[in-house]
């Protein structure tokens, strides 16, 4: 059983008004949690925190060196999925409504170490997220909304982010991602766990 994956996220009250970032935080630790995505009164996604304690599914890289110096995404993408959605994925092989996938951008650091040449992670650059919600994104492909917390100067992160235009992300994800606008072809952790239950958790 996946347990004790804890992240602090800012939330809205179920019965009252909006709870501001300064007022409260909650945890996203349950394998049956409704959703780790929390929005403010402007429908902006409040930046997730604690996601490094979620399920780490992979770190794809398309370096400039292999793309004529013009890679669209030249940094590492450390990708995490929230615990409840991981549990659902293991059971059904589908991304449940409420799924949150976080992508942390990391620069390419050294290209050489004692064991040989390669690509090694450098420094954190930014943060992006995708949220699946029929209620909030009923007309978007797969009901996915995409958010960018990265500042243009790559210094610090925004506390909230509005949903990006579909042309910014889904125009690439929809025709190229293997399943439901997610590039599972690049994530063996997801492929290996798809509808496999505990057998997909590794070492089984």
Write the DSSP assignment of 83-126 as a string of letters.
Answer: HHHHHHHHHHSSPPTT-EEEEEEEEE--SEETTEE---EEEEEE
The CA-atom distances, in angstroms, between 123 and each of 47, 120, 151 are 19, 10, 15
Residue 94 in tokens: 């589908």
* Contact (Cβ atoms closer than 8 angstroms) between residue 21 and residue 158: no
Closest residue by Cα to residue 50 from 36, 31, 32: 36
Q: Given this model, what pLDDT does residue 13 score?
A: 33
Q: Given this model, what pLDDT does residue 161 score?
A: 98
Q: Which domains are delineated in the chain?
A: 8-200 (3.50.70.20)
Q: Given this model, what pLDDT does residue 57 score?
A: 98
* Contact (Cβ atoms closer than 8 angstroms) between residue 25 and residue 9: yes
* Contact (Cβ atoms closer than 8 angstroms) between residue 45 and residue 160: yes
With b for 16 or more beta-carbon neighbours within 10 A and e for fewer, the 69-95 pattern comes to eeeeebbbbbbbbbbbbbbbbbbebeb
Residue 92 in tokens: 């059904």
pTM, entire model: 0.84
Q: Given this model, what pLDDT does residue 23 score?
A: 33
Which residues in the chain come in under a pLDDT of 70?
1-33
């Amino acid at each position: 059983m996946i347990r004790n994956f804890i992240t602090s996220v800012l939330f809205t009250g179920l019965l009252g008004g909006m709870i501001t970032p300064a007022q409260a935080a909650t945890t996203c630790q349950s394998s049956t949690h409704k959703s780790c995505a929390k929005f403010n009164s402007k429908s902006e996604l409040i930046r997730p925190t604690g996601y490094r304690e979620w399920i780490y599914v992979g770190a794809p890289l398309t370096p400039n060196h292999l793309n004529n110096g013009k890679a669209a995404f030249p940094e590492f993408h450390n990708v995490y999925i929230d615990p409840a959605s991981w549990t659902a994925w293991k059971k059904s092989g589908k991304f449940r409504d409420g799924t949150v996938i976080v992508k942390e951008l990391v620069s390419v650091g050294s290209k050489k170490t004692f064991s040989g040449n390669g690509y090694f992670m450098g420094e954190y650059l930014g943060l992006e997220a995708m949220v699946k919600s029929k209620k909030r994104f009923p007309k978007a492909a797969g009901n996915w909304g995409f958010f960018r917390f990265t500042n243009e100067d790559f210094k610090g992160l925004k506390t909230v982010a509005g949903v990006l235009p579909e042309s910014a992300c889904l125009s690439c994800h929809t025709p190229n991602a293997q399943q439901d606008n997610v590039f599972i072809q690049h994530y063996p952790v997801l492929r290996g766990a798809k509808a496999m239950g505990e057998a997909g958790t590794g070492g089984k």
